[in-house]
Structure formats: C-alpha cells, structure tokens
Amino acid sequence: MSSVIEAAVTMLQEKMPGGFDGVVKFVLTGEGSIMIDRNGVRAGDEDADVTLTAEADVFRSILDGDISAMSAFMTGKLGVEGSTGMAMKLGAALA
C-alpha cells in the first residue's frame, strides 16, 4: 500500500469514525483505492455503490476543505460512477 493511501485512510478514519451508510470506493489515480462502508475506512478495491476517482492532490484538497466535492466534480477534477445520491450524501458527510 502506498504512503498516499495510508495517509488518506488515516484522514478519512478521523473524519468518519463511525463508517458510512453505504459502500463507497475512492480511486486515487496512480496510488490505489480506499473503501468506506459501515465497517469503517480501509485500503481496498471492492464493488461499491459509488466510485469516486481523482488525483491524490484533489482528494487531499477535498478532505482539507480547500475545495468541495461538488466543485471538484463540476470542474472535472472528480469522476463519479454509480449512485450520484450516495456521492452527494458522502460529500455532505465530508464537509
């Protein structure tokens, strides 16, 4: 597992200690992927209700609050595949 994925998992665990009501996969281009579900946050690559894809720096900016997930999506920096409702729910949880 890359150090970028390890750091991202730690940041998400702090933001979402109780996990998430759904199954989400974050794909960090060139680094790997992260799963979030009712069991919490972990590195992994499994089926999900929604898959979000972004460069690592964009992902970090979303977690740091420098850019909203919606802004990243609208500017083409964040790709969404699957349930857009679940993506919006996650965006609200990360805000």
pLDDT, tens only, 11-47: 999 988 888 999 999 999 999 999 999 999 999 999 9
Contact 40, 10 (CB under 8 A): no
Contact 46, 72 (CB under 8 A): no
Q: How many CA atoms lie within 13 A of 69 on its CB side?
A: 18
pLDDT band at 1, cuts 50/70/90?
A: low
CA 91 to the chain's CA centroid: 9
Q: Could you say which DSSP state residue 54 is in?
A: E
| Whole-prediction pTM | 0.89
pLDDT tens sequence across 39-71: 999 999 999 999 999 999 999 898 888 998 889
Given the structure tokens 């990243």, which residue do they identify? 72
